[in-house]
Amino acid sequence: MAEKRDKEHMSQGDDLTDWDDELYDEIYLSMLHYIKKRRRGDPGFTRKVLQEVLADAYRKQDNSWTGKSVIEDIREAATIAAFEHFLEEWNEQIGSAVMDQALTDKCAEE
Protein backbone atom coordinates (compact mmCIF):
# COMPACT_ATOMS: atom_id res chain seq x y z
CA MET A 1 0.00 0.00 0.00
CA ALA A 2 1.34 3.43 -0.92
CA GLU A 3 0.54 5.03 2.40
CA LYS A 4 -0.87 3.55 5.54
CA ARG A 5 -4.61 3.64 5.21
CA ASP A 6 -6.08 6.41 7.28
CA LYS A 7 -9.18 4.70 8.59
CA GLU A 8 -10.29 7.72 10.59
CA HIS A 9 -11.41 9.26 7.30
CA MET A 10 -13.53 6.25 6.40
CA SER A 11 -17.16 5.87 7.42
CA GLN A 12 -17.95 3.68 10.36
CA GLY A 13 -18.35 -0.01 9.58
CA ASP A 14 -16.44 -0.13 6.29
CA ASP A 15 -14.94 -3.55 5.66
CA LEU A 16 -11.87 -3.23 3.50
CA THR A 17 -10.94 -5.76 0.83
CA ASP A 18 -8.14 -5.98 -1.70
CA TRP A 19 -9.95 -3.95 -4.35
CA ASP A 20 -10.67 -1.28 -1.74
CA ASP A 21 -6.98 -1.02 -0.91
CA GLU A 22 -6.02 -0.86 -4.58
CA LEU A 23 -8.57 1.87 -5.26
CA TYR A 24 -7.46 3.83 -2.20
CA ASP A 25 -3.80 3.60 -3.24
CA GLU A 26 -4.58 4.61 -6.82
CA ILE A 27 -6.53 7.68 -5.74
CA TYR A 28 -4.02 8.61 -3.03
CA LEU A 29 -1.04 8.45 -5.40
CA SER A 30 -2.98 10.25 -8.11
CA MET A 31 -3.84 13.11 -5.78
CA LEU A 32 -0.23 13.38 -4.54
CA HIS A 33 0.97 13.56 -8.15
CA TYR A 34 -1.63 16.24 -8.93
CA ILE A 35 -0.66 18.37 -5.92
CA LYS A 36 3.08 18.09 -6.65
CA LYS A 37 2.53 19.04 -10.27
CA ARG A 38 0.30 21.96 -9.31
CA ARG A 39 2.79 23.24 -6.74
CA ARG A 40 5.59 23.19 -9.34
CA GLY A 41 3.55 24.81 -12.10
CA ASP A 42 1.22 27.24 -10.34
CA PRO A 43 2.84 30.09 -8.39
CA GLY A 44 -0.58 30.96 -6.93
CA PHE A 45 -0.88 27.53 -5.32
CA THR A 46 0.15 28.31 -1.76
CA ARG A 47 -0.09 26.42 1.50
CA LYS A 48 -3.11 28.55 2.31
CA VAL A 49 -4.83 27.44 -0.89
CA LEU A 50 -4.11 23.79 -0.06
CA GLN A 51 -5.44 24.31 3.47
CA GLU A 52 -8.66 25.74 2.00
CA VAL A 53 -8.97 22.81 -0.42
CA LEU A 54 -8.48 20.42 2.51
CA ALA A 55 -11.12 22.25 4.56
CA ASP A 56 -13.53 21.92 1.61
CA ALA A 57 -12.78 18.20 1.40
CA TYR A 58 -13.61 17.83 5.11
CA ARG A 59 -16.89 19.71 4.63
CA LYS A 60 -17.81 17.59 1.63
CA GLN A 61 -17.08 14.43 3.61
CA ASP A 62 -19.29 15.66 6.47
CA ASN A 63 -22.18 16.48 4.13
CA SER A 64 -23.19 12.87 3.65
CA TRP A 65 -26.60 12.86 5.27
CA THR A 66 -28.06 11.13 2.21
CA GLY A 67 -25.40 8.44 2.35
CA LYS A 68 -22.53 7.59 0.04
CA SER A 69 -21.23 4.53 -1.67
CA VAL A 70 -18.13 2.72 -0.47
CA ILE A 71 -16.29 4.05 -3.53
CA GLU A 72 -17.17 7.65 -2.63
CA ASP A 73 -15.99 7.05 0.94
CA ILE A 74 -12.70 5.63 -0.32
CA ARG A 75 -12.22 8.50 -2.77
CA GLU A 76 -12.81 11.12 -0.09
CA ALA A 77 -10.60 9.36 2.49
CA ALA A 78 -7.70 8.91 0.05
CA THR A 79 -7.98 12.50 -1.18
CA ILE A 80 -7.98 13.92 2.35
CA ALA A 81 -5.05 11.71 3.37
CA ALA A 82 -3.04 12.85 0.34
CA PHE A 83 -3.78 16.53 1.05
CA GLU A 84 -2.84 16.10 4.73
CA HIS A 85 0.37 14.24 3.86
CA PHE A 86 1.48 16.82 1.31
CA LEU A 87 0.67 19.72 3.63
CA GLU A 88 2.64 18.10 6.44
CA GLU A 89 5.67 17.60 4.15
CA TRP A 90 5.36 21.19 2.92
CA ASN A 91 5.29 22.49 6.49
CA GLU A 92 8.35 20.38 7.36
CA GLN A 93 10.23 21.76 4.34
CA ILE A 94 9.46 25.30 5.42
CA GLY A 95 10.56 24.53 8.97
CA SER A 96 13.83 23.06 7.70
CA ALA A 97 14.43 26.04 5.43
CA VAL A 98 13.87 28.45 8.32
CA MET A 99 16.27 26.48 10.52
CA ASP A 100 18.89 26.35 7.74
CA GLN A 101 18.61 30.10 7.20
CA ALA A 102 18.95 30.79 10.93
CA LEU A 103 22.05 28.60 11.08
CA THR A 104 23.52 30.33 8.00
CA ASP A 105 22.81 33.76 9.53
CA LYS A 106 24.41 32.73 12.84
CA CYS A 107 27.53 31.40 11.07
CA ALA A 108 27.79 34.63 9.04
CA GLU A 109 27.73 36.69 12.24
CA GLU A 110 30.67 34.80 13.73
* 16-29 pLDDT tens trace: 568 889 999 999 99
Assigned domain for 7 exists? no
Assigned domain for 55 exists? yes
pTM tops 0.85? no
Report the alpha-carbon distance of residue 25 to residue 74 in Å, rounded: 10
pLDDT digits (tens, 9 = 90+) for 23-70: 999 999 999 999 999 999 999 999 999 999 999 999 988 886 677 888
Query: How much of the chain, in percent, has pLDDT values that exceed 70?
Result: 68
Assigned domain for 4 exists? no
Assigned domain for 3 exists? no
pLDDT category, 92, cuts 50, 70, 90? confident
Count: domains in the chain: 1
Residues 6+ apart with CB under 8 A from 110: none
Report the alpha-carbon distance of residue 3 to residue 28 in Å, rounded: 8
**DSSP label at 15?**
P
- One-character DSSP codes across 17-81: -HHHHHHHHHHHHHHHHHHHHHHHH-TT--HHHHHHHHHHHHHHHH--TT---HHHHHHHHHHHH
For residue 91, give its domain range.
12-109
